[in-house]
Amino acid sequence: MALLQIHNISKSFGEKEVLKQTGFELQTGEILGVFGRNGTGKSTLLKILFGTLTAQSGTIKINESLFKVRSKFWHANKIVSSRLIGYLPQFSFLPQSSKVWDIIPRYFEGDQQDLIFRAPRMTEIARKKVSELSMGQRRYLEVLIIGNLNHPFLLLDEPFSMVEPLFKELIHDFLISLKSKKGILLTDHYYDDVWNLADRRLVLKDGNLKQVNKLEELVTAGYLRNI
């Protein structure tokens, strides 16, 4: 089991304080759902954890390895080189003009490529260019790539956004299959997908994370108007 511990993450943009000494824990074998309205800092938090944003304060600890979040170059390179955290951003990271079957060898070698090519529905995707894929096909492919890396922790930002039902179901099944060996932080405005997958749930409001146990608490927190 691996343990990811986040302590006292603070982040401001000018005078706007987005995160206020935010912290949580995530261990392999569970999915953590994070809810929050637009602009509350969910994506900012994920970028800080991955190392593409700095913060005013805070630390990240993975097992016995400690990472500081104020030094962008040091933190990002240590996280990436250690292959500890995989990150799925909101935007597509795949080259639009490349065919899928040419992209897979850039991430995987030998038999590892079969983890992608033999995944459900991949026979209809592999021959296409990324630009020819539907939103669901592209997002499914991206989740497959990030999820099959050896990183023990995954940060998934909006994996279900604009995804058609067939591929949403495939992503659900794939994440469940990964849970036994990875710790997954999941955030998406399709809140019911996150709620159903998550073992634990947090809501981000006014720069702070608060645990929620019932769906009604998302209404109380101002994330949902009603259920």
Residue 60 belongs to a domain: no
Residue 15 belongs to a domain: no
Q: What is the pLDDT along the chain (227 residues), one digit of tens a residue?
A: 899 999 999 999 998 999 999 999 999 999 999 999 988 999 999 998 888 888 888 888 998 888 776 655 445 545 544 578 999 999 999 999 999 999 999 999 999 999 999 999 999 999 999 999 999 999 999 999 999 999 999 999 999 999 999 999 999 999 999 999 999 999 999 999 999 999 999 999 999 999 999 999 999 998 998 77
Residue 14 belongs to a domain: no
Residue 201 belongs to a domain: yes
Range of the domain at 137: 30-53+84-220
Q: What total of structural domains would you count in the chain?
A: 1
Q: Three-state DSSP class for 106? A: helix
Residue 198 belongs to a domain: yes
Residue 173 belongs to a domain: yes
Alpha-carbon distance 33 to 2, whole Å? 18
226, with CB counted inside 10 A (0-12, 13-18, 19+), is exposed
What CATH number is associated with residue 184? 3.40.50.300
